[in-house]
Structure 1
Amino acid sequence: MSNRIFITGIGTGVGKTITAACVTQALGADYWKPVQTGLLEGTDTQTVRALLSNTTSVCHKEVYCLQEPASPHLAARLENVTIDPALILQQASIIQPPQRSLVIEGAGGLMVPLNEDVFTLDLIRQLQAKVIIVAQNYLGSINHSLLTARVLQASDIPVLGWIFNGDHHSNEEDVVRWSGYPKLGRIPHATVVDANFIALQAKQLMF
């Protein structure tokens, strides 16, 4: 569905959840993280719900909640669970009303395995979602960014563009130019991240 937006990252800890909150706020969309790992740290759904200030967004319940802060396939294996993408697809159809945008947050990057055979990339294709790539500057981030872009290009998955997190770096312009995907915005580092911060950043995103 063209009104599904999948938030993926070039790696772990690059700001996907904050970005997802900003995109959800900007679009007045609904939010959903179908697979949550690392429950001891709380859920991303709880975080996003607390950061939204519009009155329309709904944060939907996860399909899988797993304790271990690890990739979904490993966290599931440790709990003797197998993640079934068919259940995720079925739930997506149930929770998303026609014509309503749904922001879907993935776990980690494109090649994170959900089970022994299916990767996040495969789930994005099955959901027929458009992708926003979240990136952050660190040593090796250009490589991770362009590998992510190449995989999406090779897979014929539509990409809306990049959202960068953290301190500005000239690498952003290079990544945009080399990938051919536009920059939708950037979310600066902040010591306090609250609903006001999210609302301000949401207004500056370019869709």
Structure 2
Amino acid sequence: MSNKRPYDFFVTGTDTEIGKTFSSSALLQALAQRGTSSVGMKPIASGAELRDGVWHNEDVDSLIAASSVKTDTALVCPYLMQTPAAPHIVAKQENVDISLPHILASYQQLTHAAEAVIVEGVGGFCVPLNDTVDTADLAQQLDLPVILVVGLRLGCINHALLTAQAIRARGLRLAAWIANTVDQDMLYLAENIAAIQQRIGAPLLGQIPRLSGNPTDNMKTAATYLNLNILK
């Protein structure tokens, strides 16, 4: 379905809680810093809190803050569910029917608003969305090149290579990967990055260190570690 826009990407990760949203936000900031209008999208988010009568999800809010184009939140996140758990379980409990055509239509509307749309998946690459489709099906339907966020911690080499294999098995192009430091005390961190780089068959977009400070500053700082030139 993709019209092969040069800066539209699907961002997935080796697991949950490994920095997909942070990396996606940094990517949006990096695009904006080079003058490319950008908007983030998280089609499915589970885990929300009510603030001033409006349901908010931390990941969705981060993507909105990082986007240079502001648009309808319902397009950014077509499916926002309340319970922080696996989406297929929460969707059933909250009577939500996750429809890939609806997500694809929302993505298409976002392409009219910005030069770049960064679509962040949920959890890892093969997370179920309902009884019949998973996140890999969504990525396949979007037909966007994939950026893989690898959380640097023990076990990351295996997770990275298996996920890269799964991405290619769906006929998708692994455009690049991001090394995001989850465990700053990880032994042989540089050696792990080198081992992945030698085997994964995709360029390293950047290595993001563990940052301390407020989220907005961290996001802007993280953007400086990404080399967008390799995406051309």
Contact 2:47–2:83 under 8 Å retained in 1: yes
Aligned length: 204
Q: Partner of 1:36 in structure 2? A: 45
Q: Partner of 1:186 in structure 2? A: 207
Distance 1:192 1:98, change over 3 A: closer
Counterpart AA for 1:160: A
Q: Deviations over 1:128-153 (max 9, x none)?
A: 21111001122222111111011112
Contact 2:69–2:113 under 8 Å retained in 1: no
Q: Write the distance in 2 (CA, Å) between the matches of 1:122 and 1:43.
A: 25
Counterpart AA for 1:202: A
Q: Partner of 2:90 in structure 1? A: 75
5+ residue gaps, structure 1 = none
Residues 82-91 or 197-206, more deviating? 197-206
Contact 1:31–1:58 under 8 Å retained in 2: no
Counterpart AA for 1:15: G
In the superposition, the TM-score normalised over structure 2's length comes to 0.81
1:58 is the counterpart of 2:70: yes
Counterpart AA for 1:75: V
Q: Deviations over 1:97-129 (max 9, x none)?
A: 187110011111111011111111111111121
Identity of aligned residues (%): 33
Q: Write the distance in 1 (CA, Å) between the matches of 2:210 and 2:72.
A: 27
5+ residue gaps, structure 2 = 33-37, 50-55
1:112 is the counterpart of 2:119: no
Q: Write the distance in 1 (CA, Å) between the matches of 2:190 and 2:93.
A: 39
Q: Write the distance in 2 (CA, Å) between the matches of 1:47 and 1:185.
A: 20
Q: Write the distance in 2 (CA, Å) between the matches of 1:36 and 1:45.
A: 8
Distance 1:45 1:99, change over 3 A: closer
Q: Write the distance in 1 (CA, Å) between the matches of 2:69 and 2:125.
A: 26
Q: Deviations over 1:22-57 (max 9, x none)?
A: 10111122111111101148331212334x3x7x33
Distance 1:59 1:10, change over 3 A: farther
CA RMSD of aligned residues (A): 1.9
Alignment partner of 1:88 out of 103, 116, 129:
103
- 1:95 Cα deviation (Å)? 2.2
SS, match of residue 170 in structure 1: helix
Contact 2:111–2:117 under 8 Å retained in 1: yes
